[in-house]
């Protein structure tokens, strides 16, 4: 069914892109079909059949996005995902037949940018790819000159996309966590609903269940608490979340 849908969709070429994608899946036939579909839409696509091949491919050349199957032999996709961390790491879309909310939440908790369930509509996968790459591209765009936001001694540099604690030390956050914190900081105390925060992290084509945002907030709070910022984010029961301190632009 999934292969047939991909075959039917090939030929509807979209915008020309120059972003590079690494597709990691042990199903060679399905991998080829997805790769062909993405190439038809202008993407540069490389393939790998497992974790070892993925690391070899990334050692040879960097990519903008990894589409990573969860059910891989030898080393599962979640284990592979754990190795794709850090400021220079590519964006990651998990691809899996495990479609429950808890499976998606685990992927997001580890650090995935998005999660697509198999069998997937190829047009949906294409939309998710474009959305994730657009968010990654927006992160790299130049920011205005006055790009440092200060709150309770903390600093968020929107140009460098760096968060520093009151002692000046860099706080290691994922791109999703920084986007979440940036949305709250820029709201300057206004309450943001879960839907608004979903849009801030995942874009309009992103995941649309409330529990995912609660997991993101919990993970962000934990990292902030480790640096003394446990009271920065306020939960507004039945409404959403807000920043609990004032903000100044430096």
User: For every residue of the chain, which 3-state class applies, written as one string?
Assistant: CHHHHHHHHCCCCCCCCCCEEEEECCCHHHHHHHHHHHHHCCCEEEEECCHHHHHHHHHHCCCCEEEEECCCCCCCHHHHHHCCCCCCCCEEEEEECCCCHHHHHHHHHHCCCEEEECCCCHHHHHHHHHHHHHHHHHHHCCCCCCCEEEECCEEEECCCCEEECCCCCECCCCHHHHHHHHHHHHHCCCCECHHHHHHHHHCCCCCCCHHHHHHHHHHHHHHHHCCCCCCCEEEECCCEEEECCCCEEC
Domain of residue 230 covers: 148-249
Judge if 72 and 118 occupy the same domain: yes
Judge if 67 and 7 occupy the same domain: yes
Per-residue pLDDT tens over the stretch 28-61: 998 999 999 999 989 999 999 999 999 999 999 9
Which of 95, 123, 140 is the endpoint of a domain?
A: 140
How many domains is the chain built from?
2
Judge if 55 and 172 occupy the same domain: no
Judge if 163 and 114 occupy the same domain: no
Taking only the tens of pLDDT, the chain with its 250 residues reads 444 344 444 444 344 457 899 999 999 998 999 999 999 989 999 999 999 999 999 999 999 999 999 889 889 888 899 888 776 789 999 988 765 666 677 777 777 888 888 887 888 899 889 888 887 765 554 444 447 899 999 999 877 788 999 999 999 887 778 889 999 998 989 999 887 887 777 543 344 455 678 888 998 999 999 999 999 999 999 899 999 999 987 6
State pTM to two decimals.
Answer: 0.57
Judge if 245 and 177 occupy the same domain: yes
Which of 140, 161, 182 is the endpoint of a domain?
A: 140
Judge if 133 and 10 occupy the same domain: yes
Judge if 165 and 130 occupy the same domain: no
Judge if 215 and 124 occupy the same domain: no
Judge if 180 and 82 occupy the same domain: no
Per-residue pLDDT tens over the stretch 86-106: 767 899 999 887 656 666 777
Judge if 7 and 126 occupy the same domain: yes
Q: CATH number for the domain including 10?
A: 3.40.50.2300
Residue 39's Cβ-count burial label (10 Å; 0-12, 13-18, 19+) is middle
Judge if 164 and 105 occupy the same domain: no
Q: CATH number for the domain including 156?
A: 1.10.10.10
Which of 106, 140, 174 is the endpoint of a domain?
A: 140
Judge if 188 and 240 occupy the same domain: yes
The pLDDT of residue 222: 93
- Listed as own residue / partner, the contacts of 16-20 with beta carbons closer than 8 Å and 24 or more positions apart are 16/42, 17/41, 17/42, 17/43, 17/133, 18/42, 18/44, 19/43, 19/44, 19/64, 19/65, 19/133, 20/44, 20/45, 20/46, 20/61, 20/62, 20/63, 20/64, 20/65
The pLDDT of residue 10: 41
């Amino acid at each position: 069914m999934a292969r047939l849908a991909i075959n039917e969709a090939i030929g509807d070429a979209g915008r020309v892109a120059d972003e590079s994608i690494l597709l990691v899946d042990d199903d060679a036939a399905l991998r080829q079909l997805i790769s062909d579909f993405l190439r038809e839409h202008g993407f540069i696509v490389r393939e790998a059949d497992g974790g070892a091949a993925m690391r070899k491919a990334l050692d040879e050349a960097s990519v903008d996005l990894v589409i990573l199957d969860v059910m891989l032999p030898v080393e599962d996709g979640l284990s592979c995902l754990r190795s794709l961390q850090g400021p220079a790491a590519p964006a990651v879309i998990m691809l899996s037949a495990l479609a429950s909310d808890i499976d998606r939440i685990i992927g997001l908790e580890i650090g995935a940018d998005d999660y697509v369930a198999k069998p997937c509509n190829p047009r949906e996968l294409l939309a998710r790819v474009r959305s994730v790459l657009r968010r990654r591209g927006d992160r790299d765009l130049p920011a205005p000159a006055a790009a440092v936001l200060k709150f309770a001694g903390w600093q968020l540099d929107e140009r460098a996309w760096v968060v520093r604690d009151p002692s000046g030390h860099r706080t290691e956050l994922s791109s999703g966590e920084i986007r979440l914190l940036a949305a709250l900081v820029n709201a300057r105390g206004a309450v943001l609903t879960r839907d608004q925060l979903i849009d801030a992290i995942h874009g309009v084509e992103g995941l649309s269940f409330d529990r995912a945002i609660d997991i993101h907030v919990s993970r962000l709070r934990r990292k902030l608490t480790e640096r003394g910022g446990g009271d920065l984010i306020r939960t507004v029961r039945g409404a959403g979340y807000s920043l609990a301190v004032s903000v100044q632009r430096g």
